[in-house]
Structure 1
Amino acid sequence: MSEVVSFRPRRVRFVAIPAAAGLIALFVVIAVLLRNTPTGAYFEVSDQIAMAMVGVLLACGVLLLTRPRVRAQAEWIEVRNLLGSTRYAWSDIRGLSFPDGSAWARLELPADEYISIMAVQSADGPRAVTAMRTLRALYKDATATV
């Protein structure tokens, strides 16, 4: 059994985590100020709590962007994007690519299908290059022994 390599996006975390904290803070402030409106509408504590919870839900949505990960070893590659995770044997993969102008790398599958690898993002620059070189080396080694 070989060592498992793992890659996650970096730059998106530097943006998403402060944005999520800012959303929560903004909606908590709105919830606190909601009670005193000059419109004549009357808001109760439950309305204030609901407003704060909207901020929490929006923050959770933003934090989903930090979830992608790719893990690989000599026998398989596992891609976790926003909502799901799938493991593929290297023998099921036709190649790895990073098309020009694309935001993410991708796994080329049979029948002209592909899966985006959101963990390897062009915004990460040299880290994405390192990740692709590592993944391509694993793919090359796995397909050479078949």
Structure 2
Amino acid sequence: MTAPREPDGRVGPAPDLTPFRPRWAPVVGVVLSILVLAGVVLLFVFVQPNAATRLGIGDYLLVVVVAGLLLGILWRQSSVSATPTPRGLAVRNLMGTTRLEWAQIVSVRFSPDRAWAQLDLADGDQLAVMAIQSADGERARHAAARLAALVQHYGTALDA
């Protein structure tokens, strides 16, 4: 008797397709965002114009623009993720989102000396998966193992 086939044609039970997200990056992002906003408010409230500090509208706009850029970076860092589907993996990192088919992923590498998991791709490139961060400890090791299981399950050609 053979193992049952899944709806996608694979043998055996389908692995967990829950998205990968870091535990601490969103917490740090929220705390730092609050500090940036508080700093801007404190600057606007407590820096009073005098002979030494003459702030014009351009100065205030510059502060708002810099604070906005910082908040954007913190938001992006807080929202890193890797979303698996039966067709592939969408990796959202700080600088962009990359969509991969499972067959493009050769292996998953992760160890305590790495900041985050890394994918080895069929074209020889590597892609960081910032959603699996070593700062998350054992949780990250389990996530890397689950991602490797997904690559193993979906990345190979279907049996005829």
**Matching residue within 46, 50, 54 for 1:37:** 50
SS, match of residue 101 in structure 1: coil
**Matching residue within 115, 119, 124 for 2:131:** 119
Cα shift at 1:66: 0.8
State whether residues 23 and 56 of structure 1, in contact with CA within 8 Å, keep that contact through their aligned partners in structure 2: no
Cα distance between partner residues in 1 of 2:110 and 2:45: 47
Unaligned residue ranges in structure 1 (runs of 5+) = none
Partner of 2:83: 71
Matches within 5 A, 1:1-146: 4-39=17-52, 41-44=53-56, 47-48=59-60, 50-146=62-158
Distance change (3 Å), C-alpha of 1:51 and 1:37: farther
Unaligned residue ranges in structure 2 (runs of 5+) = 1-7, 9-13
State whether residues 103 and 156 of structure 2, in contact with CA within 8 Å, keep that contact through their aligned partners in structure 1: no
Q: Structure 1: which amino acid aligns with 2:39? A: L
**Would you say how many aligned residue pairs link Structure 1 and Structure 2?**
145
Cα shift at 1:6: 0.2
Cα shift at 1:89: 1.3
SS, match of residue 7 in structure 1: coil
Q: Deviations over 1:53-90 (max 9, x none)?
A: 43233222222211211011333111111132122111
Of stretches 46-55 and 62-71 in structure 1, the one that deviates more from structure 2 is 46-55
Cα distance between partner residues in 1 of 2:125 and 2:60: 47
The CA RMSD measured in Å over matched residues stands at 2.3
TM-score of the two chains, using structure 1 as the length reference: 0.83
Q: Structure 2: which amino acid aligns with 1:33? A: F
Q: Deviations over 1:19-61 (max 9, x none)?
A: 111111112211222333351x433456445434432332222
Cα distance between partner residues in 2 of 1:143 and 1:60: 34
State whether residues 88 and 101 of structure 2, in contact with CA within 8 Å, keep that contact through their aligned partners in structure 1: yes
Cα shift at 1:92: 1.4
Cα distance between partner residues in 2 of 1:54 and 1:90: 39
Cα distance between partner residues in 2 of 1:69 and 1:82: 10
Distance change (3 Å), C-alpha of 1:100 and 1:49: closer
Q: Structure 2: which amino acid aligns with 1:59? A: L
